[in-house]
Amino acid sequence: MRKAPYGEDTRLAKTLRYLAIVFITLVTMFPFFWMISTSFKPVKEWTPPKPVWVAHNPTMYNYLTVFLGPGRAKGGWWASDEGVRDVAEKEGAKVSLTGESSIFVPFMTSLFVCSCATFLSISIGTLAAYSISRYKFGGNFFSFFILSARMFPPIAVVIPLVVMFSAFRLLDSYLGVIIVYTGFTIPFSVWMIKSFLDDVPHELEEAAVIDGMTNFQAILKVTIPLAKGGIAATSLFIFILNWSEFLIAFLLTSTRVMTVPILISRYFSTTLGHMYGPQAALGTIATIPVIIFGFIIQKHLVRGLTFGAIKK
Amino acid sequence: MKILLENITKRFGGLVAVDGLSLEIEDGEIVSILGPSGCGKTTTLNMIAGFEYPTEGGVYFDGRRVNDVHPRERNVGMVFQEYAIFTTMSAYDNIGFGLRVRKTPKKQIAEEVVRIARSFNLEDALHRNINKLNLSELQRVALARTLTIKPGILLLDEPLSNLDAQLREKTRVELKRFHDRLGITMVYVTHDQIEAISLADRIAVMKLGRLQQFASAETIYRRPSNMFVAQFIGSPPSNLVRGRLRRADGRYYVERGDFRLDVTMHKRAIDQGGAGDEIAVGFRPEDVELSTGKGAGRLPRGSMSAEVYAVEPLGDETILDLKISDTVVRALVSSEVTMDAGQKASFTVPADRVNLFDMKTEKNLFAA
């Protein structure tokens, strides 16, 4: 057999590589599959002795609970669930599901808070990254200093923040959460966007300036459009961070402001314990915005632009 | 526009990039700033463009001090080494960029872009995918873009360094023709002396932030101001023999081992130059005259005998490395001269074509 030339894989290597890819994909996708599967399971199949892969008796109760709120589910459809009936008999028909929240308000809250915080973080981060990338603002120390804000566990910062926010009357407010989310994600946006801006040759800005643009116009109309792929990727990353954030939201809010991760934690029944079905259903719904966001910016995620430079 | 750089110095922290540079560039002149990398030539260009401000000294355009004028208001055009094409735009939008920024009416932009594209042979490229244009087209787009705003000065930062040898030569000729047509003041930064010599009216040779010489190519070639310039210009570079001056019977010689050159004819320059005994003698490889010693057997006066150390054929000419004591003298001879390494050879150096340098100051004793 002719030896495969350098850089070209043999059939076996190719097969092995694809197998590895399939395996890794299966492993990483499994929790996602399990969440979707659980979202259709009735109570008895949530934590059975033998794992249930796909719901034997698929039900929409979980989704109804998510959309209409567990409180209203109490005497209604849940009563027809076999598992609930069992518990009800044991407990003397006192199956109570706490909480009145349906998904709508927390979902809109999350969307609003995360969008605002992501937008602010990216805007401030881009400007900061620009000054660090082009003017070496603060020398080598400054960008490191920014990152140090993420070097200790968030809980260490959140406790004093709770005290301060209570003084400023920012607890349990949209603004409070937005401020903290913005602040916590800025180090990431600065560092990521800086690396993308570093890739845009400064000659392009100089060319724009010498042809008549102001410095700020050149940044806005020449540099940022060239780095938009990276900025879009950073936005997605930051949005996901905010969207899935639990701890800070949990400590800074109580009743007025509730985000989706907090709502998930509220799906708890004194009699049924963790309501895995509704939690899974809510989790499934909560991934949709991120997937949509990902699809929208997908075409910007492709890197490898030559940025106007001529490769030697 | 006329450019005057008056004693400008640029420091970056402790690093002195440009040190007390003064240049006066006439309107319509092409000036090359030539030097090895790190000599401050690009910094100088950036100060003319306005991307850098001089730490000391003044930049004047037509007598107006522009130190604090933003690049956009300097009315200069610049072609960058990597062309700085906006890949997010078409060639058409690239060329019309400056006019668009200036809020010129669309119709006027269209006319102007088409007109200038025609003069650069770019009509076909205007609406093609910019990433599909070849290097030569991109370069012309970059040039066309800077010219639509009708700059008073055109700055070029190594614009040919990305092109292959053949295209480089062609573009060089095009640049020259284009300058003849427009008569625009051009400042051209390069590390390639052939580009500098063939394009520029005058060349500013720089080294480590300092101006070494500012003169025509001919002068720089024949009368380099110092030892650095002598060795930097020319291919192959000048021979520089660091010797000692010996006075005997009213005659002056520069000697190093068996190398011995009668420089009596330059007696006055040597005496008036105030140089010590350490003198370097510089001469062009093409000025070295080979005397094979065959035939009559009598060698011309002043002949030195050497051993052929290496032979480098260049096609129509050949470089011979002649070893004499510890010195290697390079001679550029016709390729008809056939010699092999190891052979003995005699040569003379015409004393009227040499430059003499004071080794302490490294300056040319003939320099004005």
Question: What type of residue is B323?
Answer: K
Residues A17-35: tens digit of each pLDDT: 999 999 999 999 999 999 9
Q: Say yes or no: B77 contacts chain A, CB-CB below 8 A.
A: yes
Report pLDDT for A84: 67
Range of weakest confidence among A90-94, B76-80, B328-332: A90-94
Structure tokens at A309: 């430079």
Within this chain, do residues B222 and B255 fall inside the same structural domain, yes or no?
no
For residue A266, give the nearest of A91, A103, A32, A112 by alpha carbon: A103
Q: Say yes or no: A312 contacts chain B, CB-CB below 8 A.
A: yes
Contact between A275 and A70 under an 8 Å Cβ cutoff? The reply is yes
* Candidates A207, A225, A226; nearest CB to B80: A207
Contact between B322 and B246 under an 8 Å Cβ cutoff? The reply is no
Residue A5's pLDDT band, with cuts at 50, 70 and 90, is: low
Q: Say yes or no: B82 contacts chain A, CB-CB below 8 A.
A: yes
Residues A173-210: tens digit of each pLDDT: 999 999 999 999 999 999 889 988 988 888 899 999 99
How far off is chain B from A28, nearest CA to CA, in Å? 36
pLDDT over 70 at A311, yes or no: no
Q: What is the DSSP letter of B226?
A: B
How buried is A129 (Cβ within 10 angstroms: 0-12 exposed, 13-18 middle, 19+ buried)? buried
Residues of A in contact with B112 (CB under 8 A): none
Residue B121's pLDDT band, with cuts at 50, 70 and 90, is: confident
Nearest-5° Cα angle at A271, A270 to A275: 80
How buried is A208 (Cβ within 10 angstroms: 0-12 exposed, 13-18 middle, 19+ buried)? buried
Structure tokens at A241: 């961070």
Q: Say yes or no: A200 contacts chain B, CB-CB below 8 A.
A: no
Within this chain, do residues B98 and B203 fall inside the same structural domain, yes or no?
yes
Contact between B85 and B144 under an 8 Å Cβ cutoff? The reply is no
How far off is chain B from A292, nearest CA to CA, in Å? 26
Q: What is the mean pLDDT of residues B316-342?
A: 89
Q: At what angle do helices B135-147 and B165-182 cross, to 10 degrees?
A: 20
Alpha carbon A113 to chain centroid distance? 12
- Of B231, B260, B276, which closes a domain? B231
Within this chain, do residues B177 and B32 fall inside the same structural domain, yes or no?
yes
Report pLDDT for A293: 87
Q: How many CA atoms, within 13 angstroms, populate the side-chain half-sphere of residue A51?
A: 3
Q: Say yes or no: B359 contacts chain A, CB-CB below 8 A.
A: no
Residue A303's pLDDT band, with cuts at 50, 70 and 90, is: low
CATH number, domain of B345, equals: 2.40.50.140
Number of neighbouring beta carbons within 10 Å of residue B365: 21
Within this chain, do residues B287 and B352 fall inside the same structural domain, yes or no?
yes
Rounded CA-CA distance A157/B367 in Å is 72
Task: Please judge whether B84 and A308 are an interchain contact, meaning their C-beta atoms are less than 8 angstroms apart.
Answer: yes
Task: Please judge whether B78 and A204 are an interchain contact, meaning their C-beta atoms are less than 8 angstroms apart.
Answer: no
Residues of B in contact with A201 (CB under 8 A): 82, 84
Rounded CA-CA distance A264/A274 in Å is 10
Residues B48-98: tens digit of each pLDDT: 999 999 999 999 999 999 998 999 999 999 998 888 888 888 899 999 999
Task: Please judge whether B101 and A211 are an interchain contact, meaning their C-beta atoms are less than 8 angstroms apart.
Answer: yes
Residues in chain A: 312
- Look at A291 and A79; give whichever has higher pLDDT: A291
Residue linked to tokens 């590895």: A20
- Of B195, B212, B231, which closes a domain? B231
In a domain, B366, yes or no: no
Rounded CA-CA distance A9/A18 in Å is 12
Q: At what angle do helices A154-167 and A174-198 cross, to 10 degrees?
A: 130
Mean of the per-residue pLDDT values for chain A?
Answer: 83
Task: Please judge whether B138 and A213 are an interchain contact, meaning their C-beta atoms are less than 8 angstroms apart.
Answer: no
What percent of chain B clears pLDDT 70, i.e. is strictly above it? 98
Mean of the per-residue pLDDT values for chain B?
Answer: 89
Report pLDDT for B65: 94
Phi, psi of B276 (to 5 degrees): -80, -155
Contacts of B264-270 with C-beta under 8 Å, sequence gap 24+, read B264/B351, B265/B351, B265/B352, B266/B351, B266/B354, B266/B356, B266/B365, B266/B366, B269/B356, B269/B365, B269/B366, B270/B245, B270/B356, B270/B365
pLDDT over 80 at B3, yes or no: yes
Strands B202-207 and B304-313: unpaired
Structure tokens at A69: 């709120």
Within this chain, do residues B161 and B261 fall inside the same structural domain, yes or no?
no
How far off is chain A from B366, nearest CA to CA, in Å? 42
Within this chain, do residues B219 and B341 fall inside the same structural domain, yes or no?
no
pLDDT over 90 at B203, yes or no: yes
In a domain, B364, yes or no: no
Residue A307's pLDDT band, with cuts at 50, 70 and 90, is: very low
Rounded CA-CA distance B309/B343 in Å is 8
* Candidates B72, B82, B146; nearest CB to A203: B82
Within this chain, do residues B48 and B11 fall inside the same structural domain, yes or no?
yes
Report pLDDT for B200: 92
Within this chain, do residues B143 and B254 fall inside the same structural domain, yes or no?
no
Class of domain A104-266 (CATH, top level): mainly alpha
Report pLDDT for A306: 37
Within this chain, do residues B246 and B175 fall inside the same structural domain, yes or no?
no
pLDDT over 70 at B152, yes or no: yes
pLDDT over 50 at A1, yes or no: no
Rounded CA-CA distance B194/B197 in Å is 5
pLDDT over 60 at A305, yes or no: no
Within this chain, do residues B340 and B277 fall inside the same structural domain, yes or no?
yes
Rounded CA-CA distance A194/A126 in Å is 8
Q: Which residue of A has its CA nearest to B83?
A: A309
Residues B158-179: tens digit of each pLDDT: 888 877 888 888 888 888 888 8
For residue B264, give the nearest of B276, B248, B240 by alpha carbon: B248
Q: Which residue of B has its CA nearest to A309?
A: B82
Q: What is the mean pLDDT of residues A122-134?
A: 93
- Of B231, B253, B287, which closes a domain? B231
Most confident of the ranges A88-92, A170-174, A275-279? A170-174
Give the number of domains in chain B: 2
For residue B266, give the nearest of B365, B367, B349, B368 by alpha carbon: B365
Q: What is the DSSP letter of B364?
A: B
Residues B246-303: tens digit of each pLDDT: 988 889 999 998 899 998 898 888 888 777 889 999 999 999 988 765 545 667 778 8
Within this chain, do residues B218 and B260 fall inside the same structural domain, yes or no?
no
* Candidates A217, A226, A310; nearest CB to B162: A310
Residue A310's pLDDT band, with cuts at 50, 70 and 90, is: very low
Q: Mutation target for B interface from A200, A210, A299: give the one with most B CBs within 10 A.
A: A210
Q: What is the mean pLDDT of residues A107-134?
A: 94
In a domain, B367, yes or no: no
| A residues 205-264 closer than 8 Å to B (CB) | 206-214, 217, 222, 225-226
In a domain, B365, yes or no: no
* Helix, strand, or coil (residue B45): helix
Task: Please judge whether B86 and A204 are an interchain contact, meaning their C-beta atoms are less than 8 angstroms apart.
Answer: yes
Quick one: which H or E segment has residue B23? strand B15-25
Q: What is the mean pLDDT of residues A84-106?
A: 65
Residues A243-270: tens digit of each pLDDT: 999 999 999 998 889 999 998 888 877 6
Range of B296's domain? Answer: 240-358
Residues A46-73: tens digit of each pLDDT: 888 888 888 888 888 888 888 877 655 5
Q: What is the CA radius of gyration of chain A?
A: 25
Task: Please judge whether A310 and B76 are an interchain contact, meaning their C-beta atoms are less than 8 angstroms apart.
Answer: no
pLDDT over 90 at B338, yes or no: no
Q: How many CB pairs under 8 A join A and B?
A: 74
DSSP per-residue string spanning chain A? -PPPPTT---HHHHHHHHHHHHHHHHHHHHHHHHHHHHTT--GGGTS-SS--SS-SS--SHHHHHHHH-HHHHTTTGGGG-HHHHHHHHHHTS---------SHHHHHHHHHHHHHHHHHHHHHHHHHHHHHHHH-TTHHHHHHHHHGGGSS-HHHHHHHHHHHHHHTT-TTSHHHHHHHHHHHHHHHHHHHHHHHHHTS-HHHHHHHHHTT--HHHHIIIIIHHHHHHHHHHHHHHHHHHHHT--HHHHHH-SSS---HHHHHHH-EETTTEE-HHHHHHHHHHHHHHHHHHHHHHHHHH-----TTPPP-
Residue A146's pLDDT band, with cuts at 50, 70 and 90, is: confident
Q: Which residue of A has its CA nearest to B156?
A: A207
Q: What is the DSSP letter of B363?
A: B
Report pLDDT for B34: 94
Task: Please judge whether B87 and A306 are an interchain contact, meaning their C-beta atoms are less than 8 angstroms apart.
Answer: yes
Question: What type of residue is B271?
Answer: D
